[in-house]
């Protein structure tokens, strides 16, 4: 299952970057959000750590919707979804492959979001870069696990983007909250041990939705 | 039912919502034979093919396939081609999905066999319908299927491409593959078939040797 998932992820990343596009739409939307929010502060006024972290995760959340809409659109042209379903690969590996590709693309988007938040929102990275990386990875995994499942639900439907938006955002609330609270804690110098509860919430979210996706994906990603 | 069959359908029925598409379809496919599926538009030929391939579960009846998934292939109106990948890139992907482990030389060989070697590194999105369908045929050849499902694969193909397709189908049959084939040109393709499954009147109108089948209007 791992090798088929890697084949799917490799193929999706090649398709995403074919024509030199990549996740340009998600990056531009995120940067635009950061810039627009930065205009809401009066000259000389700083955003609080909580506000800056919330805007960072909001950009990532919107990015997830765009990224998974793109990844599942690849399987609509020429009905390659049918060919994949008829192939010997386990259906769950399709979800895992899309989730891995989505995670790579989201991390790439955040490479742009984070410096933008530092410059325009005055985000303070704190003194625990390893903790920040751990937080980003843990929250991103949850966002992408959910994105891979919901993206499959919208596959082949005309109102796919609306469906993604309506379902994804409410479900993301716990993990976004976790991301914001951990981020604020790290910026204020709280040791990782003091953020264990929030990390626990994020990890639990990752595990619950990964389990749900493994079970539900074959039922939502179908050939008809 | 013969014990040597690689595909057996018993009393298969299907509905779209509450609308009956067909009921009581029973048939079997022997290795090394071609079964043509015939019937008017809307008779449910494509739906039946998807049921046979395991893509759609039947509402009633059973489907038994004695072939592993990795030895089955499907070729239809849709080319199953990723337009943003090159012809070689498409084959590399399906090579890894099917776990065939073919090297680049073998993949180039497949492209050569379908007349696309000179276009191996070109984006499949620039291909004509005929070239894309040739690439789809290369994907099928890569699998070396024991059970092959065809849904009007020659639609939009020129004479040379059709000849190539028919030649490869004959080679697959000689190799022992069982082929289920929906054709829109019965006059042309009936002679290549061993068996015919006729659909019509919301059920199975015929199942037997191709020689005994007389299409409506013929």
Cα A20 to Cα A223: distance, rounded to the nearest angstrom: 30
Instruction: Give me the pLDDT at residue A36, please.
Output: 92
Count of structural domains, chain B: 1
- Among A37-41, A160-164, B9-13, B104-108, which stretch is predicted with the lowest mean pLDDT? A160-164
Using a CB-CB cut-off of 8 Å, the residues of chain B touching A74 are 82
Secondary structure E strands in chain B:
7-16, 19-29, 34-38, 60-65, 72-75, 147-151, 178-182, 195-200, 203-209
Residue B99 belongs to some domain of the structure:
yes
Cα B155 to Cα B170: distance, rounded to the nearest angstrom: 18
Q: Does A15 touch chain B (CB under 8 A)?
A: yes
Contact flag B56-A86 (C-beta cutoff 8 Å): no
Mean pLDDT across chain B: 88
The more confident residue out of A127 and B5 is B5
Q: Give the closest-approach CA distance of A87 to chain B in angstroms.
A: 6
Instruction: Give me the pLDDT at residue B3, please.
Output: 60
Residue B107 belongs to some domain of the structure:
yes
- Answer whether residue B12 shows pLDDT above 50: yes
The more confident residue out of B89 and A128 is B89
The closest of A18, A204, A27, A25 to A115, measured between CA atoms, is A27
- Among A39-43, B5-9, B43-47, B56-60, which stretch is predicted with the lowest mean pLDDT? A39-43
Domain, as residue range, for B93: 82-144
Q: Does A87 touch chain B (CB under 8 A)?
A: yes
Contact flag A88-B79 (C-beta cutoff 8 Å): no
CB A145 within 8 A of CB A213: yes
Mean pLDDT across chain A: 89
Residue B120 belongs to some domain of the structure:
yes
CB B36 within 8 A of CB B210: yes
Residue B18 belongs to some domain of the structure:
no
Q: How confident is the model at residue B210 (pLDDT cuts 50, 70, 90)?
A: confident
Q: How confident is the model at residue B218 (pLDDT cuts 50, 70, 90)?
A: very low
What confidence tens digit (pLDDT) does each residue in A96-142 have?
999 999 999 999 999 999 999 999 988 888 788 899 999 999 999 99
């Amino acid at each position: 299952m791992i090798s088929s998932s890697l084949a799917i992820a490799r193929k999706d990343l090649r398709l995403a970057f074919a024509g030199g596009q990549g996740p340009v739409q998600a990056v531009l939307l995120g940067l635009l959000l950061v810039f627009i929010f930065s205009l809401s502060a009066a000259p000389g006024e700083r955003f609080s750590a909580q506000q800056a972290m919330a805007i960072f995760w909001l950009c990532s959340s919107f990015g997830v919707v765009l990224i998974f809409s793109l990844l599942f659109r690849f399987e609509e042209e020429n009905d390659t979804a049918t060919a994949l379903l008829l192939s010997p690969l386990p259906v769950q590996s399709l979800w895992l492959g899309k989730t891995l590709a989505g995670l790579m693309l989201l991390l790439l988007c955040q490479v742009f979001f984070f410096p933008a938040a530092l410059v325009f929102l005055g985000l303070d990275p704190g003194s625990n870069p390893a903790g920040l990386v751990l937080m980003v990875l843990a929250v991103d995994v949850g966002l992408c696990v959910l994105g891979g499942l919901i993206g499959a639900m919208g596959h082949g439907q005309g109102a796919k983007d609306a469906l993604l938006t309506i379902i994804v955002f409410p479900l993301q609330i716990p993990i976004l909250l976790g991301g914001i609270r951990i981020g604020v804690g790290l910026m204020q110098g709280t040791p990782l041990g003091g953020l264990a509860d929030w990390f626990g919430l994020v990890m639990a979210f990752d595990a619950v939705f990964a389990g749900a996706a493994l079970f539900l994906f074959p039922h939502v990603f179908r050939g008809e | 039912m013969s014990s040597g069959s690689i595909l057996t359908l018993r009393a298969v029925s299907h509905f779209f919502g509450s609308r009956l598409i067909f009921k009581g379809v029973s048939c079997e496919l022997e290795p090394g034979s071609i079964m043509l599926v015939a019937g008017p538009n809307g008779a449910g030929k494509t739906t039946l093919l998807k049921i046979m391939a395991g893509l759609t579960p039947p509402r009633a009846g059973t489907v038994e396939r004695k072939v592993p998934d990795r030895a089955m292939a499907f070729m239809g109106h849709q080319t199953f081609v990723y337009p943003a990948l090159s012809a070689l890139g498409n084959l590399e992907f399906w090579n890894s999905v099917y776990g065939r482990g073919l090297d680049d030389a073998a993949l180039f060989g497949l492209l050569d066999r379908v007349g696309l070697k000179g276009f191996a590194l070109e984006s499949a999105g620039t291909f004509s319908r005929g070239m894309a369908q040739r690439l789809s045929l290369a994907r099928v050849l890569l699998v070396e299927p024991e059970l092959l499902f065809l849904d009007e694969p020659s639609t939009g193909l020129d004479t040379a491409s059709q000849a190539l397709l028919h030649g490869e189908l004959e080679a697959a049959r000689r190799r022992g593959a069982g082929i289920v084939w929906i054709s829109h040109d019965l006059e042309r393709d009936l002679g290549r078939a061993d068996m015919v499954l006729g659909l019509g009147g919301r059920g199975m109108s015929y199942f037997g040797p191709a020689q005994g089948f007389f299409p409506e209007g013929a």
